[in-house]
Amino acid sequence: MAMGFGDSARDRRVRVQGEPVESYPRLAPEVNRGAVRRITVVGEEILRRRCREVTEFGTPELAKLIDDMFATNQVAEGAGLAANQVDVDLQLFVWDITDEWGVRHVGHIANPALDEVAAEHRRLVEEPEGCLSVPGPYRVVPRLDHAIVRGRDKDGNPLVIEGRGYFARCLQHETDHLHGRLYLDRLAQRERKAALREMKDSQDKVFARRASVAERLGK
């Protein structure tokens, strides 16, 4: 998910894997360890199918993939990134975003599943949304303002992450990716075509900016 922008005034600590921490560096440690991978773009087949479940946990390969996804997300100035966006067919995504209340959320989750929300508790919010695999355009997309996602961390431990506002949007957006869905699919046909035309016109500038950030970070 691309960056875009409520009461958490009681506790503004960074949440890592959903838990508050007393201090946290500007760049997540995974960014420093990771290598930047190519981000897939709308039209590539891997973005259009349901990803495979993660079945092997605690492996160096999974840890390396997560590090690389954090580094790639940082270079692309993103809020979240799914594994199929780096051409890996696994149910996994990472996030590093700051919500409307100034709370930073950082983490990863494998095999995520969103809780169902009863109709009487569903509140849709329409806000601009972008995607690193649709470089450039933002469009208004309705999303639930509260989301709970359940899955596992890289070591296979159960994980429950709750988000509100922009973070809830991110959790829904990235889970969509792992089911082969893009935010474009939530738009009317005319709006979708307009977004794709805008992407064609802007993607070279977006790619150049990502390359510049990568150079600055030594990636």
Positions marked catalytic: 174
| Pairwise CA distance, residues 148 & 177, whole Å | 16
User: Where do runs of H (alpha helix) occur along 99-187?
Assistant: 165-178
φ, ψ dihedrals at 191, nearest 5°: -65, -40
* DSSP code for 87: T
**SS3 (DSSP) at 42:** coil
**Which pair of structure tokens corresponds to residue 69?**
């996804």
| Pairwise CA distance, residues 83 & 110, whole Å | 10
**Of 98, 187, 175, 99, nearest in space to 141 by CA:** 187
| Pairwise CA distance, residues 132 & 41, whole Å | 8
Buried b (16+ CB within 10 A) or exposed e, 144-159: bbbbebebbbbeeeeb
